[in-house]
Amino acid sequence: MRGDRIVQVWFGKRPRTFKTPTSRQAKGLAGRTILAVHRTGKHIVFELGSGASAAGAAAQQGDADANQATAPDAQWIVHLGMTGRLLVATPDAPVAPHTHARLDLASGNELRFVDPRRFGRLEFRNLRSSSDAAFEAPGAEPLTIGARAFAELFRQRHLPIKAALLNQSLLAGVGNIYADESLFQAGIRPRRRSHRLTATELERLRLALRQILTHAIRLGGSSVSDYVDADGERGFFQLEHCVYQRTGEPCRRCQTPIRRIELAGRGTHFCPTCQH
Ligand SMILES: [Zn+2]
């Protein structure tokens, strides 16, 4: 989508979906160019600039001007929630039920946000406005955090390690599936208190998280309910889950039936033999 321009915007009428009022989002998005799209924690962030023509003209005047003209001046922040999908479609593609946003792009494509259960959120930030700061995830990035910083995050916490992993202000972007799978991989029981984990265990957990997340991203994520990518394709990581939603099924390593408990309000799955 990089380089494409948002021509026109349509929003649905379900207020919960819109963290910023639809009138303000529509006004801010229309006419802006998508400079970049990236992930921060569990959020998808669109970096937006004010119009391709201004950037193009400045590019011919030299790099310094071009950098200034192509610096983002707004952001569109998308959280998929539980069932949200962000789809790139052609305008003639049938509009799915529960479509809450349609962005017409200069390329002729449409960007659509579909979300049956409406836990997803759309937010607009105008970075020129003094009231809007650039979006930052509150927690550390699990794919790049180093061993010492990781240990620091969890050493002081007295809550169960599973709950600490789900706390987005510590690590950003680890959800229920990946917390369960990483704890299995690291051989750590989800109820263990964070501050009681040894340095070796914490390092095993850090490496497990990185490996599981990287592998899951490569497989297109876990399509356990509605999740599909921008092309509408399902992910395949759910086929490799070792514990998540495998209650009563044999552990892939030791054949012990996988157990399920409630922890931090979430279904939590583990192998009582492989995890200590
Ligand atoms: Zn096992």
Please tell me the distance between residue 13's alpha carbon and the centre of ligand 1 in angstroms: 48
- Torsion on CA atoms 189, 217, 44, 19, rounded to nearest 10: -40
Count CA within 13 A, CB hemisphere, residue 105. Answer: 18
pLDDT tens track for 165-193: 999 999 998 999 999 999 999 999 999 99
For the segment 204-216, the average pLDDT, to the nearest whole number, is 95
Please tell me the distance between residue 251's alpha carbon and the centre of ligand 1 in angstroms: 5
Measuring CA to CA, which residue among 148, 146, 188 is closest to residue 165? 188
pLDDT tens track for 100-138: 999 999 999 999 999 999 999 999 999 999 999 999 888
pLDDT tens track for 49-87: 995 444 444 444 555 444 555 789 999 999 998 889 999
pLDDT at 58: 46
Residue with tokens 């948002």: 6
- Rounded to an integer, what distance in angstroms lies between the CA atom of residue 257 and that of residue 251? 6
Mean pLDDT of the chain: 91
Residue with tokens 């659509």: 112
Please tell me the distance between residue 115's alpha carbon and the centre of ligand 1 in angstroms: 36
Beta strands in the chain (DSSP E): 6-11, 33-40, 43-49, 74-79, 85-89, 99-105, 110-114, 121-126, 259-263, 266-270
- Rounded to an integer, what distance in angstroms lies between the CA atom of residue 115 and that of residue 223? 14
Question: pTM of the predicted model, to two decimals?
Answer: 0.81
Please tell me the distance between residue 209's alpha carbon and the centre of ligand 1 in angstroms: 18
For the segment 81-96, the average pLDDT, to the nearest whole number, is 92
* Residue-wise burial string across 170-195, b where 16 or more C-beta atoms lie within 10 A, e elsewhere: bbbbbebbbbbbbbbbbbbbbebebe
Q: DSSP letter for 192, please.
A: S
Work out the burial of residue 220: count CB atoms within 10 Å of its CB; fewer than 13 is exposed, 13-18 middle, 19 or more buried.
middle
pLDDT at 56: 47
pLDDT tens track for 30-52: 999 999 999 998 899 999 999 54
Ligand 1 is a single-atom ion; what residues have CB below 5 A from it?
A: 251, 253-254, 256, 271, 273-274
Please tell me the distance between residue 184's alpha carbon and the centre of ligand 1 in angstroms: 8
Q: What confidence tier does 156 reach under pLDDT thresholds 50, 70, 90?
A: confident
pLDDT at 51: 57
Q: DSSP letter for 251, please.
A: P
Please tell me the distance between residue 242's alpha carbon and the centre of ligand 1 in angstroms: 9
